[in-house]
Structure 1
């Protein structure tokens, strides 16, 4: 099956109630929802790549190891949401309400946060980058990443590279926070053949490397 033809967990809802729903590990890329109530749902390890969730209610949801990339969340509510190990990259936050939300090890990159509502980041565990940061890496690490990107499932997931085909510096920063470089290089090499199904967030890479360490 060609990569461009792969199916995902895309949803298209309008004014639907989907509260207390388990969306864990769902690939919601290019989903399109308006005016929906997702409150108290689980979005751990979920991808919102290229998705539109406008005027939706995510109150009291959990977002652990989620990836919200090139998404439009205009006028949605994230009140009392717990964000952990989550990435916001090039996201439209216009009118998005974060009242009472908590952030632990969360990254914002290329995202205008000034248009969000009640986004209080003082004393929160966040990193903010106006644009994709540059990261100097060794040739050996670069080769290990490029080798893993030859795996069709890794390539389709788009968690290690950018839309223009470059290695994602943000993803490597996140990996290097978890593993020292030697362990990371060895792990990336080992998991090249073990990843044999579709996935949608960097957490799968992290879990696969962790599993290698115990073998």
Structure 2
């Protein structure tokens, strides 16, 4: 195994058995794995941003609050896996198999689903967007979103902006599904000064805002 020093929680595995492991909250950014068995492992709240997990088995794994951003999951198997509040954005799912997987409030954005195996696109717990969702937001919310990125840790997380520098409307859409706009603006203003460490997923922001008084 090799460790990615630029992202200490990331790793490189080939043909490795990693069943029944706990990867909860892990930042797996730029990990590179091929033909590995992660069956029955816990990936809740993990970030797979820019990672490659090709031809891997994720049978019966859990992915609550996990985020796959720009991830390559070509040929991987998710049989009986559980996805809840999970985000797939710009993901390569060519040949990926979701046989008997369970979904709850899972979003696919800018991800080609035509070559996915055993994904029920009619499942009401799945939402599919060809591109970033269109969202009308107030000037106040726009300003709060731009201002919150003055915090270096928030900016580094890439949660609130896209690679093109635009506001991430998917993030705002999900936040507005969890909080009303007034509360969200208040929350953004508060976390701007409170966050003082690295984080990697939108689920972290949601949990933080839920505790705002």
- Deviation at residue 6 of structure 1 after TM alignment: 5.9
Q: In the alignment, is the contact (CA less than 8 A) between 2:7 and 2:29 conserved in 1?
A: no
Secondary structure at the aligned position of 1:103 is classed as strand
Could you tell me which runs of 5 or more consecutive residues in structure 2 were left unpaired when the two chains were aligned: none
Correspondence for 1:60: 60
Correspondence for 1:141: 141
1:39, 1:121 → 2: CA distance? 24
1:143-198 per-position Cα deviation (integer Å, ceiling 9, x unaligned) = 11111111111111111111111110000000000000000000110111111111
Q: In the alignment, is the contact (CA less than 8 A) between 2:58 and 2:77 conserved in 1?
A: yes
Q: CA RMSD in A?
A: 1.2
Correspondence for 2:116: 116
Distance 1:102 1:128, change over 3 A: same
How many residues of Structure 1 are paired with residues of Structure 2 in the alignment?
209
TM-score by length of 1: 0.94
Q: In the alignment, is the contact (CA less than 8 A) between 1:102 and 1:124 conserved in 2?
A: no
Correspondence for 2:185: 185
1:107, 1:127 → 2: CA distance? 5
1:195 aligned onto 2:195: yes
1:7, 1:158 → 2: CA distance? 15
2:22, 2:124 → 1: CA distance? 26
Q: In the alignment, is the contact (CA less than 8 A) between 2:7 and 2:27 conserved in 1?
A: no
Q: In the alignment, is the contact (CA less than 8 A) between 1:47 and 1:66 conserved in 2?
A: yes
Correspondence for 2:130: 130
- Deviation at residue 124 of structure 1 after TM alignment: 3.7
Output aligned runs, 1:56-95, within 5 Å.
Answer: 56-95=56-95
Secondary structure at the aligned position of 2:192 is classed as coil
1:108-141 per-position Cα deviation (integer Å, ceiling 9, x unaligned) = 1111111011112333411110111221111111
Could you tell me which runs of 5 or more consecutive residues in structure 1 were left unpaired when the two chains were aligned: none
Q: In the alignment, is the contact (CA less than 8 A) between 1:103 and 1:124 conserved in 2?
A: no
